[in-house]
Chain A
Amino acid sequence: MIEKKIKDTVLDYAAKIVAEGMNGKGDRIAMRTKNGFCVNDAKVALDVLKEENLIEMPLDTEDKDYIVIARILAKRPEVHAVLYTHAPFVCAVARAKATIPAVLDDMTQIVGLNCRTSKSATTDALVGELKKRNSVLVPGGGALTTGRTMDEAYTCALVLDKASHAYVCGSVIGGNKTINCVEAKLMNIIYQKKYSKVNQENISKREGE
């Protein structure tokens, strides 16, 4: 039995992903529950998702449609939400198997110093990439983003989409000027420690985790 507040949060953010045009084939939206996680049925796309299409899966599932999410949540107790989205510019970077460098301030604050495309799309490779990061691109696919709350995972996907626009368009307008790694690291630490911690705790209560 999935808590109503969690179902509402999942449906609310699924609608936001669709409104931002970040949805595509194979999307997943998942949120931790007492017994595992709440996730959209793999056969149901986010633009037609309804309450009855949400299912609860255990963390030790071997089902190939949900195993990546299950492993991430099992290995990262602080993570409460996982998204797999397909924003077109993000998919272009994943198709190129490229790494998005630190092109924008908000990317360094929320995503980190860069976002890599995993060497392979296997569960082990993807979960390994997310050991100390909150996002990874799936080669030939979309972006996996994680958060302490659904709002944080969604914001991460949103910022990654904007950074992908900057990186992809940079290829035709003369290249990007990246932020130096000391300043990027500093911004990331300040944001994660100072600004977002209390905010995420408040959001977490609202989302029903």
Chain B
Amino acid sequence: MAWTKDEEIRLRKVIKDSGVNLLKENLVQGTWGNTAVRLDEDHMLVTPTGLDYVALQPEDMPVVQISDTSVWSDGKKPTSERKIHAAIMADRPEINATIHSHPVWCSVLASARIELPVMSDEMQKLVGGPARVGAYGLPGTKKIKEGTVAAMKGRNACFMANHGVFCAGKDMDEAFEIIRVMEKSCREYIRQCTLKMTGQLEYSDELLFDYFVSKYGK
């Protein structure tokens, strides 16, 4: 064990707070989504599977071995998506915190499998360029893990096709800044596309709905 007990206690609280903050900021629904923080080069703390973020306690977070995610201890059963968090941490030594979630606007682009262009200086700085889409794979499979790792090369965020978004930072605060800018940028991209498709100058949801009904309505 290459970390101190005090550091582990601090990081357990960081991960507990990350879940609550995802809920508060409407970046996750219910028990979906998961986060991880690095303890050392081969260990991370992750959120457990299927537990309510508010009810979750710091001591519930299991310690998972990055090089072999079937090995875990000291908490409740880890999220089934721990392999993706571990793969990113193994591939990117500078990454110490990861968030996987399904916020609404990011899910739109994930479902369309569309690369998000750089929408602002803030996005360029935090994400590192356009956000790619990882290849589609069933949850928990090697395909989704490898697709996410490939799409994250040189980036701090990517979409997971028809699934959600993955963000990584040097710490949890940065990972949060990244997921916030992704959600904001996706929303802005959709607004700009709506204006382009409708030829209008001012966005409203009604404008989008009317366009949708005219295109898909029976």
Contact = CB atoms under 8 A, between A and B. Distances in A.
B107 interface: yes
A166 B107 contact: yes
Contact of B209 (A92, A105, A162, A183): A92
Interface stretch (B7-15, B91-99, B111-119, B170-178): B111-119
A105 B189 contact: no
Contacts of A199: 50
Contacts of B110: 104, 166
Contacts of A177: 111-113, 136, 161-162
Interface residues of A, number: 37
B216 A162 contact: no
B178 to A, nearest CB: 21
Contacts of A133: none
B111 A168 contact: no
Contact of B29 (A103, A158, A166): A158
B27 to A, nearest CB: 12
A158 B107 CA distance: 13
Interface in A86-121: 88-89, 92-93, 95-98, 102-106
Interface string B76-106: 0000000000000000000000000010110
Contacts, number: 108
A173 interface: yes
A115 B189 CA distance: 26
A98 B104 CA distance: 20
Interface string A165-180: 1111111111111110
A96 B29 CA distance: 27
B50 A166 contact: no
A42 interface: no
Nearest to B163: A105
A104 B111 contact: yes
Given A168-B209, A177-B111, A162 B50 contact: no
Given A162-B29, A172-B194, A97 B112 contact: no
B112 A187 contact: no
Contacts of B102: 104, 106, 162
13 contacts: A92-B212, A92-B213, A96-B212, A104-B163, A105-B164, A158-B30, A159-B29, A166-B108, A167-B111, A169-B112, A170-B108, A173-B108, A187-B139
Given A104-B111, A177-B112, 5 more contacts: A96-B217, A171-B208, A174-B114, A176-B111, A178-B162
